[in-house]
Amino acid sequence: MERLFLYFIAASALCGPLSVAQHHYLVFNETKTWTEAQSFCREKFADLATMDNMEDMNILNGLAVPEMAWIGLYDDVNGWKWLMSDPNFYINDGANFRNWKAGEPNNYNGHESCTILKSADSGKWNDAPCDWSVEAMCCNVTGLNVTFVYINKTMTWPEALMFCREHHTDLASVRNMEENQKIMELLPAGKQVWIGLYRDTWKWADGSNSSFRNWLSAEPNNYQVQNESCAAADFTNFGQWDDRNCDEKKPFICYAVPMKKYLLKLKLQENSSLDLTDPVVLEEILRELKKRLKDRGVDGDPKLSWKKQSNGKIFY
């Protein structure tokens, strides 16, 4: 086939979007657990619904939504990790060492995302609210060697983090029972200290970094320690969110990947007398155009089709 040279009339090749949907939400009234709903949304669409702002909430409030429905926000209660991220520091699987007190961590009242080590509990650990005022255990690290430093000053966990990083290496990471015992030897009787174990709270299932939150008053609260680790929108309260047990069965809201439509105007210059009504020729032009769009950085898999004039022809 003779080669066709394609020229974009507009410098950007795009004459402006005909329609762009920022979010496309889909409401399902059948009830599922949060995990079942997520699997359904990922199989059929993109994921459980993510919201970036109140505009998104206004869109949902304008839909025919049941009283309460799952959205894509969840609390990874098992996502505990150490501040120190260097994998070479954690020999013999030390990054996974835990010394929790029985029944801990329990995320009591839904706000316990930091860790204290208590002398009264023989060095066992508790999860605790990060805004408590507690003394700190810092550490100095040289290679694989670590020494611990007891700080006799009460601070919140973020304040303790800043203090330890300014004056030492970091808040203490504890890799084994031997190091846990070294901390106990420094800790006065009856005292408790922050250590560097924490978890990120409330994440979007699709990995979005949206920081938008729309909780009901006093939520999330992990009510009566009921494992309330999934978020549902309460549309009897304008779609504000409540933390709920993930095993409850509820309607749910998915979102689909938004579709963008563009009109591209082309000027074709041919070097032979090709038949521009021939479907094979037209398909070859679309293949070449798709390749050029990909070369210009268009993401995904663009779907191209010809727009016919009122007389049924494509080209002037």
- 251: preceding bond cis by omega (within 30 degrees): no
Q: Rounded CA gap, 79 and 155, in Å?
A: 24
Give the separation between CA 113 and CA 111, rounded to whole angstroms. 6
Look-up of token digits 């679309």: 286
- DSSP, res 215: B
pLDDT digits (tens, 9 = 90+) for 265-301: 777 666 556 777 777 878 888 888 878 877 777 666 6
Helix (H), strand (E) at residue 39: helix 34-44
pLDDT at site 291 = 81
Dihedral (Cα; 183, 166, 156, 145), 10-degree rounding? -20
Provide the pLDDT confidence category of residue 101 given band limits of 50, 70 and 90: very high
The pLDDT tens digits for 237-269 are 999 999 999 999 999 999 997 666 667 777 766
d(CA 215, CA 56): 14
CATH superfamily of 22-74+204-256: Mannose-Binding Protein A, subunit A (3.10.100.10)
Joined tokens for residue 240: 């504000």
Comparing C-alpha atoms, which of 119, 84, 75 is closest to residue 101? Answer: 119
Q: What is the model's pLDDT at position 11? A: 31
Query: Any idea where the domains of the chain sit in the sequence?
Result: 1-20+259-316, 22-74+204-256, 80-199
- Side chain identity at residue 189, one-letter code: A
pLDDT at residue 77 tops 80: yes
